[in-house]
Amino acid sequence: MIDLIISTYAMLFLVTYMMPTFVAIARNHNQTTTIAILNLVFGWSVIGWVILLLWSANDNTKQELR
């Protein structure tokens, strides 16, 4: 039972930690790779994580051809 609780918390932490990368992927951001790398390096700091989340949520997305 304790293993399930630890696994659940670990998964929640991982999803939260990588949120800027997931947002960039979902929004088809131009700098997805850069955001993902910086998220791995600077995501541990709250300021870095917030800046990356804001960057990934901006309107710098790839335009689809119609």
Asked whether residue 64 is domain-assigned, the answer is no
Q: Does residue 29 belong to any structural domain of this protein?
A: yes
User: Alpha-carbon distance 59 to 46, whole Å?
Assistant: 22
What percentage of the chain exceeds 70 in pLDDT?
94
Tell me 48's DSSP state. H
The DSSP bridge partners found for residue 29 are 61
Number of domains in the chain: 1
Query: Does any domain span residue 39?
Result: yes
Q: How far is residue 44 from each of residues 4, 13, 24, 30, 65, measured CA to CA in Å?
A: 24, 11, 18, 23, 37
Task: Report, as an integer, the average pLDDT of 17-40.
Answer: 95
Confidence of residue 37 (pLDDT cuts 50, 70, 90): very high
Angle between helices 19-26 and 32-42 (to 10 degrees): 170
Answer yes or no: is 61 within a domain.
no
| Average pLDDT score over residue span 21-38 | 94
Task: Give the pTM.
Answer: 0.82
Q: Which domain holds residue 41?
A: 2-56
